[in-house]
């Protein structure tokens, strides 16, 4: 059985971007993570120890988003996907979406978003 745990709109202030002002001033970013796993046994037993602790995933995501500056949100998304699969062995597949709000494109744009979908076999 495959189930999905979703973390939506995790918000952080980061220093990612190609332009120097993005790297120094920073901006608001959002992340969504879809975790594909089997939590049926955990649900039957009502046991956190048999599923993904999404509090730990959130803290992990937040740390990954802030510990390093990236020119590309694409690089950040791939690193998060890889590290989630490496560090959480019961994740079968993960989809990571990173949004840069109000990107400096010379016009009015709400956000730019990238998505990475990886399975354990892709590592």
Give the domain ranges of the chain. Answer: 3-122
Would the pLDDT of 95 be above 90? yes
Say how far apart CA 62 and CA 44 lie, in whole Å. 30
Would the pLDDT of 16 be above 80? yes
Annotation: CATH topology of 3-122 = GTP Cyclohydrolase I, domain 2 (3.30.1130)
Say how far apart CA 56 and CA 6 lie, in whole Å. 13
Q: How far is CA 59 from CA 32, 45, 70, in A?
A: 13, 25, 19
Would the pLDDT of 87 be above 90? yes
The angle at the Cα of 66, spanning 39 to 106, to the nearest 5 degrees, equals 110
Residue 60 host element (H or E): helix 54-66
Question: Which residues are designated catalytic?
Answer: 100
Q: Which pTM value belongs to this model?
A: 0.92
The mean pLDDT value of the chain amounts to 93
């Amino acid at each position: 059985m495959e189930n999905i745990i979703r973390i939506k709109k995790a918000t952080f202030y980061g220093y990612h971007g190609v332009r120097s002002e993005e790297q120094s001033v920073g901006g608001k970013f959002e992340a969504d993570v879809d975790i594909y796993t089997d939590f049926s046994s955990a649900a039957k037993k009502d046991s956190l120890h048999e599923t993904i602790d999404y509090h730990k995933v959130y803290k992990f995501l937040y740390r990954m988003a802030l510990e390093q500056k990236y020119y590309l949100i694409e690089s950040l998304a791939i690193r998060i996907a890889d590290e989630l699969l490496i560090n959480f062995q019961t994740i079968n597949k993960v989809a990571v979406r990173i949004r840069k709000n109000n990107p400096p494109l010379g016009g009015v744009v709400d956000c730019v978003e990238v998505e990475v979908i990886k399975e354990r076999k892709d590592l």
